[in-house]
A = this chain, B = another copy of it.
């Protein structure tokens, strides 16, 4: 966690932006949760003093994406934000019945992605893989 805060601070310094208690508090809470929405963060921080507005949450989440700590995902109607620094890249299975989200990682798939990219002379910087279907409790 100290590491992530350092990354954020460095990014802020590089862009002549300021370290604020809100930004650090949002990052701290973000790191404790998984594929979170802005709304969820807002509620998680509701008791915080001083009060943190939704606009600040969005602004800070965009900052986190810029410095490589977070990545946006569009599962349903709302945008989810994923921590990609600590756990490394991972992908998702989404149960379309109960909404459960299972995270997984697979190096072989990533390897094949690189191969496909090479065939098209394309340089991958990031990717998103989502499997939709039914989880074990939902397909009887």
Contact = CB atoms under 8 A, between A and B. Distances in A.
Contact of A132 (B95, B104, B127, B133): B127
A6 interface: no
Interface stretch (A11-19, A31-39, A55-63, A106-114): A106-114
Chain A interface residue count: which class? 20 to 34
A124 interface: yes
A51 interface: no
A95 B126 CA distance: 11
A43 to B, nearest CB: 24
Contact of A125 (B113, B122, B133, B136): B133
The count of identical subunits is 2
Main SS at interface, chain A? strand
Interface in A98-140: 102, 104, 106, 108-109, 112-113, 116-117, 120-136, 139
Contacts of A136: 120-122
Given A112-B112, A125-B133, 15 more contacts: A93-B124, A102-B122, A104-B120, A106-B116, A108-B112, A109-B109, A109-B112, A113-B131, A116-B131, A120-B136, A122-B131, A122-B135, A122-B136, A123-B133, A129-B129
Interface of A: 74, 93, 95-96, 102, 104, 106, 108-109, 112-113, 116-117, 120-136, 139
